[in-house]
């Protein structure tokens, strides 16, 4: 059984790595970079004009939400660029995991209460909500990638547990 567990671990397909180098990742990458560009264009242009005519309280909410949006997008763009570097061979998966390179994604919710959020310009609301959905997709992929990488160099956790059980019960039979 232990030999089978070792053989199975060598034949395990890394779903996270496959997904990160797939067309789905390329699509996610394009969506993320387009969203960064759209948000920057909006915040530097029409958004700036729209924020100037908002009442003081809404202008503060606009500033908070735009900063949160920018932070969320910069984290996601950094993560996407890091994964692309791994996919293109510029970094190894191990290098990407080091503190020097690893992007620690934090969940960035909305900065304003729902009531205030609905008073913000429609385009800012749209960008914030789209970025949250994209963030959730990236968090999911990040969890898959780094869970798989944590198991590199050995059998996946379930196979390790099976080998431990086999050793324990095998020793008990002897």
Domains of the chain in start order, with CATH, are: 14-154 (1.10.8.930)
Cα dist. 113→22, 69, 119 in Å? 37, 15, 10
List pLDDT tens digits, range 45-59: 999 999 999 999 999
List pLDDT tens digits, range 109-149: 889 999 999 999 999 999 999 999 999 999 988 888 776 65
List pLDDT tens digits, range 47-91: 999 999 999 999 999 999 999 999 999 999 999 999 898 888 888
Position 102 pLDDT exceeds 90:
no
Unique residue bearing structure tokens 């909500």: 129
- The answer to whether the CB of 84 falls within 8 A of the CB of 37 is no
Q: Between helices 56-87 and 23-44, what is the axis angle to 10°?
A: 150
- The answer to whether the CB of 65 falls within 8 A of the CB of 110 is yes
- Helix then strand count (H, E) for the chain reads 9, 0
Closest CA to 80 of 55, 105, 43, 115: 105
> pTM, whole model, 2 decimals?
0.73
- The answer to whether the CB of 80 falls within 8 A of the CB of 28 is yes
């Amino acid at each position: 059984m232990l030999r089978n567990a070792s053989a199975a671990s060598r034949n395990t397909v890394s779903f996270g790595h496959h997904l990160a180098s797939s067309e789905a990742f390329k699509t996610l990458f394009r969506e993320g970079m387009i969203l960064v560009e759209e948000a920057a264009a909006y915040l530097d242009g029409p958004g700036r004009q729209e924020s100037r005519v908002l009442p003081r309280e809404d202008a503060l909410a606009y500033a908070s939400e735009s900063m949160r949006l920018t932070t969320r997008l910069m984290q996601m763009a950094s993560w996407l660029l890091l994964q692309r570097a791994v996919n293109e061979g510029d970094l190894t998966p191990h290098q990407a995991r080091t503190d020097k390179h690893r992007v620690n994604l934090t969940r960035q919710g909305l900065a304003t209460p729902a009531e205030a959020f609905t008073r913000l310009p429609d385009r800012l609301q749209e960008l914030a909500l789209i970025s949250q959905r994209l963030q959730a997709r990236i968090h999911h992929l990040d969890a898959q990638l780094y869970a798989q990488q944590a198991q590199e160099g050995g059998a996946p956790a379930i196979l390790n547990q099976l080998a431990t059980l086999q050793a324990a019960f095998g020793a008990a039979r002897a």
